[in-house]
């Protein structure tokens, strides 16, 4: 299962939810891969006290390299992030939207994990798009406020848009 947590509104609890879901899945003995694809790197800092090594960094996907997940415990690994990711934000090539999909479809990656949880930034950018494109499920978290509900509606519209485009371009 590949699941993204998304809302275009910031600060609604996306990262916190990912963190707690990861704990719950690993307790149930699911082999869980966390992917922090937010340049803020907040999920990463829940586990690491220093910036991640380049080899473990999600930015590698955008440099045509394969990131190596960091082992957090027996059932939990993390592809980490930090502000370094933001230098790839302006990539506009079509193939850049499918980097995470290509990674998660690698046979050695695919067979290793039962659950992949992706924490996204509060924006519709290349990173959120990568997450939505590869996800089977999107959990859109809202807090009780108009802006978060607006952010949810925007995510829903984007998902429909992405699905429509994927149907039009089945070979991608
Ligand atoms: N269920 C909750 N109840 C109360 N506070 C919460 C809850 N979930 C998260 N918080 C707090 O809200 C703040 C924002 O949470 P978090 O960083 O998880 O949001 P986010 O959506 O990931 O933010 P961003 O959009 O910047 O990535 C944090 O201080 C967090 O501790
Ligand atoms: Mg966050």
Domain span at 13: 2-168
Per the model's pLDDT, the better-predicted residue between 25 and 151 turns out to be: 25
User: Which atom belonging to ligand 1 lies closest to the Cα atom of 9?
Assistant: 25
pTM listed for this prediction: 0.93
pLDDT on residue 169: 66
Answer for the pair 130, 29: CB distance below 8 angstroms, yes or no. Answer: no
In angstroms, what is the span from residue 7 Cα to ligand 2's centroid?
Answer: 10
Residue 79 has pLDDT above 60, yes or no: yes
Instruction: Specify the residue with its C-alpha closest to ligand 1, atom 6.
Output: 13
pLDDT per position as a tens digit, 42-75: 999 999 999 999 999 999 999 999 999 999 999 9
CATH code, domain with 40: 3.40.50.300
pLDDT at 90: 86
* Number of domains present in the structure of the chain: 1
Q: Which residues line ligand 1 (CB under 6 A)?
A: 10-16, 38, 40, 42, 122
């Amino acid at each position: 299962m590949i699941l993204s947590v998304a809302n275009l509104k910031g600060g609604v609890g996306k990262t916190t939810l990912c963190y707690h879901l990861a704990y719950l899945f690993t307790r149930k003995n699911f082999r869980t891969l966390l992917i922090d694809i937010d340049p803020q790197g907040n999920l990463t800092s829940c586990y690491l006290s220093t910036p991640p090594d380049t080899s473990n960094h999600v930015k590698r996907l955008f440099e045509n390299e394969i990131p190596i997940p960091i082992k957090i415990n027996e059932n939990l690994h993390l592809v980490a992030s930090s502000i370094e990711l933001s230098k790839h934000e302006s990539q506009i090539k079509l193939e850049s939207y499918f980097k995470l999909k290509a990674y998660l479809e690698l046979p050695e990656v695919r067979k290793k994990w039962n659950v992949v949880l992706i924490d996204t930034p509060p924006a519709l950018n290349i990173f959120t798009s990568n997450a939505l494109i590869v996800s089977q499920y999107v959990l859109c978290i809202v807090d009780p406020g108009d802006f978060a509900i607006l952010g949810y509606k925007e995510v829903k519209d984007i998902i429909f848009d992405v699905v429509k485009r994927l149907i039009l371009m089945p070979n991608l």
